[in-house]
Structure 1
Amino acid sequence: MLRCRFSLLFTSLALIGLASATTNLSVSAQEKAVPRVYELRTYTTHPGRLPALNKRFQEHTLKLFEKHGMKNEMYWIPTDTAKSENTLIYVISHESEAAAKKSWDAFRVDPDWIKARDASEADGKIVLKVDAVFMTKAPYSP
């Protein structure tokens, strides 16, 4: 009788584990079916203004991106000496290009963003130029 109960318990646990694994597989398949759109952005600052841009990103921008549905992926400073003084490169991701447009539109009018931007530019404009490219992963990308 005790053996039968243990067998029933282990069979139930195995079925629960199998159901959980199947659910996880379908989520992974769904994620692969709808790939994220990545946005590569390169900011060139006015001379001497990169520290102000980095401070603004660290203290405000990253949180505001997340608030508006943008996922922070990675941020870089070039190793090239000249570019390292005025360039920030980063990647954020979105559910789609339409979602990106909606997120950027909401971000640009967010009172918290406007306040942070204006405060950080009290000493002068920071960003001289922005380049942006939308991308999807290549099929062979790890």
Structure 2
Amino acid sequence: MIYELRVYTTFPGQMQNLLTKLETSMLPLWKKHGIQQVGFWTTHIGPDANELTYMLAWESLAEREQKWNTYQSDPEFIKAKENAVEQYGQTNAKIANSFLVPTRFSALQ
């Protein structure tokens, strides 16, 4: 199993808009494309309260590439993204992601 850690840094005042967009538009599309989320977290205490961190689980990088590319080219995703920009403007100042492999003693395998 490979885990993808993604950190979105929002523009000030845009966190709620990002959360709404993810919950109402993107999560149903992830389900449609078989994208498995592990969890979502907002920064309560830390260097930047404008960060949303989430994790996705993949069987392999090949699975990630296939499913992510299919999701990103889905006309529903493209339309939802356009609608979100019209409704909220740009929400993200920065997106970072890392691919993590669990150690043999990790609770998540």
Please report the TM-score for the alignment, with normalisation by the length of structure 1.
0.69
- The higher-RCO structure (CA 8 Å, 6+ apart) is 2
Alpha-carbon distance between aligned partners in 1 of 2:98 and 2:51, rounded to the nearest angstrom = 16
1:1-142 correspondence to structure 2 within 5 Å: 36-80=1-45, 83-84=48-49, 86-122=50-86, 123-142=88-107
Instruction: Give the 3-state SS of the residue equivalent to 1:83 in structure 2.
Output: coil
Larger Rg: 1
SS at match of 1:76: strand
Q: How far off its partner does 1:69 sit?
A: 2.3
- Normalized per residue, the structure richer in helix is 1
Q: How has the CA–CA distance of structure 1 residues 136 and 82 changed in structure 2, closer, same or farther, with 3 Å as cutoff?
A: closer
Tell me the alpha carbon deviations over residues 22-73 of structure 1, each in whole angstroms, 9 at most, x when there is no partner.
Answer: xxxxxxxxxxxxxx21100000112211111100111021121222221011
Question: Secondary structure, in 3 states, of the residue corresponding to 2:106?
Answer: coil
RMSD across aligned positions (CA):
1.5
User: What code does the residue aligned with 1:129 have?
Assistant: K
The runs of 5 or more residues in structure 2 that have no matched partner are none
Cα separation, 2, equivalents of 1:47 and 1:118: 21
Q: Percent identity over the alignment?
A: 30
CA distance in 2, matches of 1:67, 1:96: 19
Shift of 1:81: 6.6
| Residue-pair matches, total | 106
Residue identity matched to 1:91: M
Secondary structure at the counterpart of residue 54 of structure 2: strand
